[in-house]
Amino acid sequence: MIGDWLDIGPVSQISPGNARTLPVRGGEEIAVFHTLDNRFFALVNRCPHKAGPLSQGIVHGDVVTCPLHAWNISLKTGKALGDDDGCVPTIPLRVDAGRIYLLREAVLGGGTPPAKVA
Ligand code: FES
């Protein structure tokens, strides 16, 4: 099971309300977020608007506000909220015994494409 997941280190490396980035060889940079209520999410670090670095945005609830033009992006789904339209791939993440794991396949493949909404 662990073989399918990439150990990216202890949860303590990201303080609540912050994010860290993870360079991916041959892929896109990933942003891992720690919410103020102690949840963790990972997204490709590229705003669906004009590719702003979401890792530098403001985290509130399970949303990050992009630092460039203040779009709100759901950390759960990667979707732009409100009137804005767009989506960034999410990376499945789990926390186990105080360490953060990302789904290896999604990291290497650049994330899970958003499900199509009919
Ligand atoms: S690039 Fe993120 S809101 Fe414009």
Rounded distance from Cα 38 to ligand 1 centre (Å): 25
pLDDT bin (cut points 50, 70, 90) of residue 34 is very high
Residue range 11-30, pLDDT digits in tens: 999 999 999 999 887 788 99
Residue 10 lies in a domain: yes
Q: Please give the distance, rounded to the nearest whole angstrom, from the Cα atom of residue 95 to the centre of ligand 1.
A: 29
pLDDT at 109 over 80: no
pLDDT of residue 36: 97
CA distance 63 to 81: 9
d(CA 40, CA 37): 9
pLDDT of residue 19: 98
User: Cβ(49) to ligand 1 under 6 A?
Assistant: yes
Domain of residue 102, CATH code: 2.102.10.10
Going by DSSP bridges, is the β-strand pair 90-91/93-96 parallel, antiparallel, or unpaired? Answer: unpaired
Whether residue 118 lies inside any domain: the answer is no
Asked if residue 115 belongs to a domain, the reply is no
Question: Does residue 54 contact residue 19 with C-beta atoms inside 8 Å?
Answer: yes
Write down the pTM of the prediction. Answer: 0.89
Ligand 1 pocket, 87 CB below 6 A?
Answer: no
d(CA 93, CA 52): 22
Asked if the structure places residue 116 within a domain, the reply is no
Say if 114 falls within a structural domain: no
Domain count, the chain: 1
pLDDT per residue as tens digits for the range 37-84: 999 999 999 999 999 999 999 999 999 999 999 999 999 999 999 999
What is the domain extent for residue 46?
A: 2-109
In a domain, 117, yes or no: no
86 lies in some domain: yes
